[in-house]
Amino acid sequence: MVEGSMTQGAGQGPVVRTATLRDFRVPPYAQVPVQSQLAEEQKEPPAPPQPPQAATPSQPHEPPGPQPEPTAQEVLPPRSTHPGNAVPEDELPEGYTPTERDLPVIKRADPGDTVKMQTIPGEGSDGLGPLYVVGDVHGYFDELVEALAAQGLIDADGGWAAGNARLWFLGDFTDRGPDGIGVIDLVMRLSAEAAAAGGYCKALMGNHELLLLGAKRFGDTPVNSGAGTATFQAAWLLNGGQKSDMDRLQDVHVQWMARLDAVVEEDRHLLMHSDTTAYLDFGSTIEDVNETVHEILTRNDADECWDLFRKLTKRFAFRDEGGPQAVRDLLATYGGQRIVHGHSPIPYLLGEVGNEDGEEVERTVIDGPHVYADGLAIAMDGGVTMAGKLLVVQLPVPN
């Protein structure tokens, strides 16, 4: 993708990353990190993990140095042995995020529908610098650092380098990838450094933040799922929860996640995590939605938190024939000219999900966001968990 531009995010050619797709499924019995399981298979003791220790806003800045542990590609075992490929024999609980094997296949978007938006250097409506957004990270710390550095947002030491620029993360920091807590630590530190430089780095609530909070607070407590018994702990594991993240989760992380907003408008872009109209259930203004979400989390009721998680796990509302009108309904209620969201990987929106036998299919290279729903929606989840790309993109200055 040409720097400073945004396209539909679909070019032609073979996949750049040749690793097989990483299935999302992690059954309840997968209680140990992937690193340890792989080492056991190789009959060698696993090297102790050395997660990056980023300072929180109350701590002094200690730039992360080169990490000696293996990369995610080196750590992940082949598809046939990855615990994420094990499919639970019992019925999946409600709230389970569909995987590449059970998502519906849709017709790929016509290349003629491609929408291009050229970013224009200049200040935003609030007098600050350019506006950037980050799609779903899901624990892929190394990929996040690389993507932020490529946009000039951080320096070689991992420190904020973008002055008065604005950076919004669209949620889903943990699960499925190797270092979700490292990602949260980095975002918290960059928030403090950006504020000190005259800009800001902020984050939205994703469904995986709700899932991790629920697993931490409620564990195996049964919740009323509307279709039988479910628990946050089981749903978290089925959706890629990593024991290493739970072991390292601290009160400061829990408090930070619980205070995240669900919706925000920046430069007439309506930012939200999920491509769903379920936000309308929580209020008729952005302020109402965010206040309602915070109140639900403060009340700490397992059933109420589950209902919130379930609704914000819904997806694909902006796809297909009724998609443009769904976007217009949200924009009419909350404001803005275009929705920018994560949650649904672009390969799924393009209908590229493989077949039931798990065989590889030729896929489009994801090199940028997917603009769809009559140009009213921008999908930012490049599918980093399935050999795609972690997207960090500058949004265009409004007219």
Can you give the pLDDT at residue 208? 98
- Confidence at residue 362, expressed as pLDDT on a 0 to 100 scale: 60
Residue 376 CB coordination number (10 Å): 22
pLDDT at 121: 47
Q: What are phi and psi of 377, to 5 degrees?
A: -130, 140
Q: pLDDT exceeding 70 applies to what percent of the chain?
A: 64
145-172: per-residue pLDDT in tens? 999 999 999 999 999 999 999 999 999 9
pLDDT at residue 132 greater than cutoff 90: yes
Cα separation, 398 vs 57, in Å, equals 32
pLDDT of residue 258: 97
Report the C-alpha gap between 388 and 239 in whole angstroms: 18
Structure tokens at 380: 């930012």
CA dihedral 78, 239, 68, 74 (to 10 degrees): 10
CA 145 to chain centre: 15
Across 130-139, average pLDDT: 98
Q: What is the dihedral sign for C-alpha 52, 158, 379, 77?
A: negative
Pairwise CA distance, residues 163 & 196, whole Å = 9
The per-residue pLDDT for range 84-104, each reduced to its tens digit, is: 222 233 444 444 444 433 444
Contact 88, 27 (CB under 8 A): yes
Per-residue pLDDT tens digits for 20-29: 233 233 222 2
Written as one letter, the residue type at 126 is D
What is residue 356's predicted lDDT score, i.e. its pLDDT? Answer: 45
Provide the CA 284 distance to its chain's centre, in angstroms. 25
pLDDT in tens, 289-309: 999 999 999 999 999 999 999
- 42: how many CB neighbours lie within 10 A of its CB? 10
Nearest to 248 by CA among 65, 72, 51: 51
3-state secondary structure of 137: coil
Q: pLDDT at residue 384 above 90?
A: yes
For the chain, the average pLDDT equals: 76
Torsion of CA 151, 155, 159, 162, to 10 degrees: -50
In contact, 49 and 265? CB cutoff 8 Å: no
Q: What number of CA atoms fall less than 13 Å from residue 287's CA on the CB side?
A: 0
313-339: pLDDT as tens digits: 999 999 999 999 999 999 999 999 999
For the record, the structure tokens of 71 come out as 């990369």
Higher pLDDT among residues 182 and 39, named by residue: 182
Burial label for 157, CB within 10 Å (0-12, 13-18, 19+), is exposed
Q: What is the tens place of the pLDDT at every residue in 341-363?
A: 999 999 889 876 554 455 555 66
pLDDT band at 399 (very low <50, low <70, confident <90, very high): low
pLDDT of residue 359: 56
Q: Is 377 exposed, middle or buried (0-12, 13-18, 19+ CB in 10 A)?
A: buried
**pLDDT beyond 90 at 263:** yes
Instruction: State the pLDDT at residue 12.
Output: 32
Cα–Cα dist 63/54, whole Å: 7
pLDDT band at 248 (very low <50, low <70, confident <90, very high): very high
